[in-house]
Amino acid sequence: MSKSSELYERGLKVMPGGCSRNTILRKPHPLYVEKGEGCYVTDVEGITRVDFANNMCSLIHGHAHPAVVAAVSEQLAKGTAFTIGTEVEIDYAEHIVSRSKSFEKMRFVNSGTEAVMSCIKAARAFTGKSKIAKAEGAYHGLYDYAEVSQTSKPENWGDADKPSSVPVAYGTPKAALDDVIIIPFNEPDRAIKILEENADDIACVLLDVMPHRIGLIPASDEFARSIYNWTRKNKSLLVFDEVITFRSNYGGAQEWYEGVLPDLTAMGKMIGGGFPVGALAGRADVMDVMDPLASKVLFPHSGTFSANPITMTAGLVSMKLFDRNAVLKLNNLADYARDSLNEAIKIADVPVCVTGEGSMFRIHMKETAPVSYRDGYVTPAEAALTKTLLDHLFDDGIMMINTCTGVLSTVMKEKEIDRLAEAVLSGLKKMKNQF
């Protein structure tokens, strides 16, 4: 019995599945952390691994960054949450708004899920329409409407010209499914045709321009521009989910698309500096549906821990450190990582590919990089190969996200990338006869 197995036995008695987040689960039991420092994590058994998961993309500067620790420690001594305002909330809001030309006003919330939910509700309040459209397979958090068709499969996803609205959780109301229009990712002609059929009812199109669940595939310029133009023509809003992708550029992945400005953007993860966070930002007139001073408040909005000073302090320090030079340096390191992985795949001579942009990458057990959800759908055989590689990497001292996705932190260097590439190469060589 290891310490981790003993901890898991205790967890099983008080939590469904023994945990509060499914992503920690692994067989025969999860491992538990002792400490994190920089880009390394040490578990309670004393084993240290390079962290390419970074708490599901939320740690841009790795673990326990000295500047964040110092600032948060100072604030802890002053208090953690108040029913009156804090100056740091305004400081941080000013900083976030300054990072993107699509941001005029913003509000903080407590998670990416809450940020997306707030964007959807704001879009409905602004347009007076009830339906939303989203890309098949894209993950946008736990909200009933946002999660529709994120796990659709060949047996239930319907015709490619009219994808079905498929629930994730049992008991999802049919009314919620009816109010979510599913469009194919990176297929502009099909997507626009579907949107046209529902033009009078769509409050917003919710779009992640490099959705992790779809395959960490960037939206083509044609797709993003087509959706943007359609929303302009039909008085709908364009909502970007940048909870994961905001790390891609100083002002988010939306900078990839010249002239395509979302009306609202949802953010989260890394903007919290290691603490729970969410935010939505966008056009002033849209954001003002939440204005409590208006004569008629269209979307009453609040949250007990929204903009708490611990998160605001950690986030402001972290994002100021993640300046334009830091973004460029990290993205260049990610280019080196993708090149190194492609070289490992070439040497191993296996039908595997790498996708991703910015500071993220994903390894697919496919010969050719997918461009859409159905194209990138992970078959049972591919899932087994992915698990084999992930287990090999974990045993070799590398932590990855469970889709074989990696995200970089600013404290990483080429030596960590080289270690990853060597581990991937050795793993693929061992697996070669399984392809």
The Cα 5–Cα 13 span in angstroms is: 13
Q: Where are the alpha helices (DSSP H) in 31-179?
A: 54-57, 66-76, 87-98, 112-127, 174-178
The Cα 49–Cα 361 span in angstroms is: 19
250 is written with which tokens? 């100083």
CATH code given to domain 66-321? 3.40.640.10
pLDDT of 395 above 90: yes
The Cα 409–Cα 412 span in angstroms is: 6
The Cα 376–Cα 424 span in angstroms is: 21
221 is written with which tokens? 């310029």
Tens of pLDDT, residues 348-390: 999 999 999 999 999 999 999 999 999 999 999 999 999 999 9
CB 205 within 8 A of CB 174: no
Q: Residue 238 — very low, low, confident or very high, per pLDDT cuts 50/70/90?
A: very high
**Model pLDDT, residue 427:** 98
Beta pairing class for 131-135 and 158-159: unpaired
Buried residues in 114-143 as b, exposed as e (16+ CB within 10 A)? bbbbbbbbbbbbbbebebbbbbbbbbbbeb
Rounded to 5 degrees, what are φ and ψ at 414? -60, -25
Tens of pLDDT, residues 147-188: 999 999 999 999 999 999 999 999 999 999 999 999 999 999
How crowded is residue 183: how many other Cβ atoms within 10 Å of its Cβ?
Answer: 25
Q: Residue 272 — very low, low, confident or very high, per pLDDT cuts 50/70/90?
A: very high
Query: What's the count of helices (H) and strands (E) in the chain, helices before strands?
Result: 14, 16
The Cα 354–Cα 361 span in angstroms is: 7
Q: Is 364 helix (H, G, I), strand (E, B) or coil?
A: strand
pLDDT of 401 above 90: yes
Q: Is 46 helix (H, G, I), strand (E, B) or coil?
A: coil
Q: Average model confidence (pLDDT) for the chain? A: 97
Q: Is 57 helix (H, G, I), strand (E, B) or coil?
A: helix
Tens of pLDDT, residues 413-426: 999 999 999 999 99
**Model pLDDT, residue 133:** 98
pLDDT of 428 above 90: yes
Give the residue among 282, 231, 228 at the shortest CA–CA distance from 260.
228
Tens of pLDDT, residues 118-133: 999 999 999 999 999 9
**Parts of the chain belonging to CATH 3.40.640.10:** 66-321
Q: Provide the residue type at 53 as one letter.
A: A
Q: Cα–chain-centroid distance for residue 281?
A: 16
CA distances from 214 to 55, 149, 410 (A): 19, 11, 26
- Find residue 106's DSSP bridge partners: 281
CATH code given to domain 31-60+323-434? 3.90.1150.10
**Parts of the chain belonging to CATH 3.90.1150.10:** 31-60+323-434
Q: Provide the residue type at 362 as one letter.
A: R
pLDDT of 1 above 90: no
Tens of pLDDT, residues 300-355: 999 999 999 999 999 999 999 999 999 999 999 999 999 999 999 999 999 999 99
Crossing angle (nearest 10°) for helices 221-233 and 188-197: 20
